[in-house]
A and B are shown apart, each in its own frame.
Chain A
Amino acid sequence: MKLSALHARMLTVTIVLFGVVATLSAVLTMDILRRHLTDEYVSKGTAIAESIAAQAAELILTRDPATIQAAMDQYLQLEGVAFVYVVDDTGRLVSHTFFPEPPAEMLGQPGDPQRVRVAHMETQGTGGHIHIVAPILAGAAGYVHVGMDKAIIARHLWSAGLKHVGLMLVVFMVCSVVLYILVNRISRPLTELTGYAARLAAKDFDTPMEITAGGEVGALAWTMRFMAGEISGLVDGLTREVDRSTSDLKETLGRLRAIIGNMADGLLVLGEDGRITLANPALGQMYGLDPAALGGQEAEPCFGPVVADLANQAMESPGRAVEAEVPLAGSRTAKATATAIVDQAAWGAPEVRGAVILLRDVTREKEIDAIKTDFITTVSHELRTPLTSVLGFAKLIRRKLGQEVFPRLTDNGDSTMKAVRQVNTNLHIIAAEGQRLKCLIDDVLDISKMESGRVEWQMAPLSLAEAAAAAAAATRPLWRKKGLEFSTGVSEDLPTVLGDRDRILQVLVNLISNAVKFTPSGSVRLAAEMDRNRVLVRVEDSGIGIAAEYQERIFEKFRQAGDTLTEKPKGTGLGLAICKQIVEHHGGRIWVRSAPGAGSTFYFTLPIYANGTPETACDGPA
């Protein structure tokens, strides 16, 4: 029969416990018994010795050893008495019970006339004896010697010990049987419960369990059955819930898939590793590819390096949309906007899971833009020639009138002088407005040239400190006139940059003029410093500032902060667009930081000129 773990454990504990108890109690019992028996034997031997001594007194004197012997024989039959002998006052043996002869080592025990002497003798092979000597008539008649056999004590001890152990064994067996039955009573329902629990684990909630046990195990069984019912109900509810959620999810997913499938724009989703995870049909159409076959492929071979770079940039700067123009199949162009997919975890830093790129076909818009630019350029060009003539003649007229005509007019009345002043004023207005119009046209032509790449760039190593000083000198009248403080902070040891000096100067002047223009009072500061491997130039003012919604727009063409319809324009609206074109051509970036009423700071970067080749521009801070 195989014992269960519970049985085995109980049995082991019982055996160990009983072993310890049996051994301890047997040892204790034997020790107590040994002392008691020894004491008993000593007192028994003493009693015998004294008794014989009392009887022997007269008999020794009447020389009747046979009667002494009779008395001794009587005691010899008592248990434990090994020998008795009587010696007279001269030490001569009068009577003894030894056979075949009195052993020499047992004689010769001296006696004490005053009292009974007890000695424990150890003799080889016999287990020793207790030697008791009692005086007869205070030793005057001799001594009685009684030997009590210690071997009998030992025999008694062993017999008692064995009986004890035997009793313990019987008790142990009875206990084992009782324990076995008891443990069985606990163990069997437990085994049944285990089987039931295993069935529950296998999601079999239907097989019933019969509860036979009472007490704690019974309570456990009832609880388990109740729990099984609860779990069964819970699982059913959960299954229904999951089914419903799944169908909802499927529906939502289907709708999303339909939306994505029907989008006019191309949608490309890349994973962290840059592989395609999703591409919608519109995208496939743009590139003439089958969207279904794209999953898991590298983005670059399919969509070209620009898209791949864009995705990388987006993933490197999550939270910011990165845009680029992307060539499509059939010499079309798309505007691609990439954003990183950020998994905002419940804790820890957000993790980038990939990138989403939305492509919009802007071929048409570009064409229209080009037509528009060409139109404006043409118009401007056509306007510029007559305007130059108009402006030239207006200025000529004003000079001639001022030099030749007006001085000759006699002061014959207020009306003449008044007319003269009026003509003068009007001529000034014509010249000023003509000049402004010319500037505007120049700017428009300038920017169209840049956009169409028709500008010739005079690239050469350039010192920013020198450029800054020139810009300061050029703008001095402006800030002097308004009474503003102007300062420059360009360190002499800044490395040289590669650039077109006039164009860079144009950017600086433009920015300073703008700053002066929008700063009623206070200061303007031009500064340049090293920022990593590029030069960062900034123009700060303490002016009116720019609202956040305009900060991106002001770099677009014909855009100024504020409402251009209701407010009088303060410039051509092309200055910053030109700056942007120039900076970007140099491989830098331009941006602004400002808040209304707190002034504005315009930044731009230029790559350092090193070993004759400009380094690739890095993106500035967002």
Chain B
Amino acid sequence: MLCLAMTLLLLAGASPQAHAAGQEVVLGMSAAFTGPSRGLGIELYRGAMAYFRHVNDTGGLYGRPITIRPMDDGYNPGPAILNTIQLIGQDDVLALFNYVGTPTVTRVLPLLKKFEDRHILLLFPFTGAEPQRQPPYDAYVFNLRASYLQETSALVARLVALGRTRIAVFYQVDAYGRSGWNGVQRALSTYGLTIAAEATYRRGASFADSMAEQVRIIAKAKPDAVVSVGSYEACAAFVRDAREAGLDVPIANISFVGSQNMLNLLRASCESGKAGYCAGHIITQVVPSYEDASLPTVAEYRELMARYADTPLPEAARQEGPAYEPLPCCFTSFEGFLNAKTLVEALRAFGRLPRREELAQALESFTAGDVGLGVPVSFGPTRHQGFDAVYFTTLSQGAVVPIRDWTEWGK
């Protein structure tokens, strides 16, 4: 059945279709719109769609509307692969865009090589994992965000600088968690240190699950800090159980966690007197804080998010209950927004709408782009990652705010 469907799609894709004027520019997006990580997929989609709708409302891209074709993979590799095959087979899809998650993206990568002759590119996946930044797949992928290695490296450097050398790792036992773990390990080894303790959880754990066992394992080693590499529900559960167990060292998360989503889970407890739940968080970000009004893009993002708050959720997300409450603003949707803006700016810089096979060339020629982040976004033939900055944020008074002063974080 599946094979038949694939064959039909491939046959359909084989007939060349000219990009006629007025026809939509479509980007294929396979992401988690259901399950415990659905907040990431949905917010990423909403952020990107806010910008695309703005573009469409202001004359479109070279006069053509641009949109996203969302498909749900529930953060699982299997559906991600099927979705990808389907999307590649559809000729009107310009590129794959805004994929979410390490385990899904790393499994999709071989497909890009397989369908090399179709010149399909994966643009700005929401993951900092290494495989798509390393040969042989780096050729087919353009990243915007910094890698996990960069995030963890910056994080470890910061913690060591604060005198917190006994660093424990709590991570999701899959490729994503492993890449975070690997990043911490590598960063520590440059200081001659090793991981003080490690505990894992299975992908798919929710906030309701107990992380007491993992807390016990880590607390035993008496760490100075914990680096948490996981999804926001599990990480929030870990924070909750760690604070309950009296483990009050800083708990650091990396960008993938979805700070706002995690904050939302913990906020109820914070407000009901369990202040500890919301204290001691360090979250690295690969985009600036959406609270930083000094950046022009932030203003544009907030305005467009407010204007296009009515963007309908993808089909799969609408069907799954309980209904998802969209966030007005968050790092994830901001990243989605930036992804969309970077793509549009790059294509505009190219001077015309590229065909599939011209897309890599178009992006690679976007060497010093300004998307309003204060620093340039730069791609090149040997540089498929546009942005290297890592930002530190924390939870404070119900919001994710940048950390400007580290004096309180010392050991």
Contact = CB atoms under 8 A, between A and B. Distances in A.
Contacts of B177: 69
A73 B211 CA distance: 21
Contacts of A95: 178
B199 interface: yes
A375 interface: no
Contact of A100 (B131, B174, B175, B213): B213
Interface in B175-199: 175-179, 181-182, 186, 198-199
A454 to B, nearest CB: 151
Interface in B392-408: none
B199 A100 contact: yes
Given A65-B181, A66-B102, A73 B77 contact: yes
B173 A65 contact: no
A74 interface: yes
Contacts of B175: 66-67, 69-70, 73
Interface string A563-607: 000000000000000000000000000000000000000000000
A73 B129 CA distance: 15
A65 B200 CA distance: 15
A74 B175 CA distance: 10
A98 B200 contact: yes
Given A63-B182, A65-B181, A100 B103 contact: no
B77 A64 contact: no
Given A74-B107, A100-B213, A66 B199 contact: no
A97 B173 contact: yes
B56 interface: no
B128 to A, nearest CB: 10
A100 B173 CA distance: 9
B199 A67 contact: no
Contacts of B181: 65
Interface in A92-140: 95-101
Contacts of B77: 73-74
A99 B200 CA distance: 5
A189 B77 CA distance: 71
B134 interface: yes
Contact of B200 (A63, A66, A74, A101): A101
Contacts of A98: 173, 200
B84 to A, nearest CB: 15
Q: Size range of the interface on B?
A: 20 to 34
A405 B200 CA distance: 190
Interface in B207-230: 211, 213-214, 217
A65 B102 CA distance: 13
A101 B217 contact: yes
B129 A66 contact: yes
A390 to B, nearest CB: 169
B106 interface: yes
B201 interface: yes
A101 B198 CA distance: 7
Contacts of B201: 99-100
Given A65-B182, A66-B182, A74-B77, A96 B173 contact: yes
Interface string B94-130: 0000000011001100000000000000000000011
Interface string A54-92: 000000001111111110011001000000000000000
Interface residues of A, number: 19
A202 B201 CA distance: 89
A97 to B, nearest CB: 5
A373 B53 CA distance: 180
Contacts of B106: 66-67, 70
B69 interface: no
B111 to A, nearest CB: 14
A221 to B, nearest CB: 64
B19 interface: no
Nearest to B149: A66
Interface string B365-406: 000000000000000000000000000000000000000000
B202 interface: yes
Interface in B155-184: 173-179, 181-182
A73 B103 contact: yes
Given A73-B77, A100-B214, A100-B217, A67 B174 contact: no
Nearest to A62: B134
Interface in A245-275: none
Contacts of A77: 78
Contacts of A67: 106, 130-131, 175
Contacts of B129: 66
A64 B130 contact: yes
Contacts of A70: 102-103, 106-107, 131, 174-175, 178
A77 B202 CA distance: 12
Q: Most chain-B Cβ atoms within 10 A of its Cβ — which of A66, A67, A96, A100?
A: A66
A63 B181 CA distance: 12
A65 B178 contact: yes
Nearest to A97: B173
B308 to A, nearest CB: 35
A62 B213 CA distance: 33
B32 to A, nearest CB: 16
Contacts of A99: 173, 199-202, 214
Interface string A26-70: 000000000000000000000000000000000000111111111
Contacts of A63: 182, 186
A304 to B, nearest CB: 127
Given A74-B107, A101-B198, A66 B214 contact: no
A147 B390 CA distance: 39
Interface of A: 62-70, 73-74, 77, 95-101
Given A66-B129, A68-B178, A96-B173, 11 more contacts: A65-B179, A67-B131, A67-B175, A69-B174, A69-B177, A70-B131, A70-B178, A95-B178, A97-B173, A99-B173, A99-B200
Interface of B: 77-78, 102-103, 106-107, 129-131, 134, 173-179, 181-182, 186, 198-202, 211, 213-214, 217
18 contacts: A64-B130, A64-B134, A66-B129, A67-B175, A69-B175, A69-B177, A70-B107, A70-B131, A73-B174, A74-B77, A77-B78, A99-B173, A100-B217, A101-B198, A101-B199, A101-B200, A101-B214, A101-B217
4 A-B pairs with the lowest CB-CB distances in the bound complex, closest first: A66-B179, A69-B178, A70-B175, A99-B200
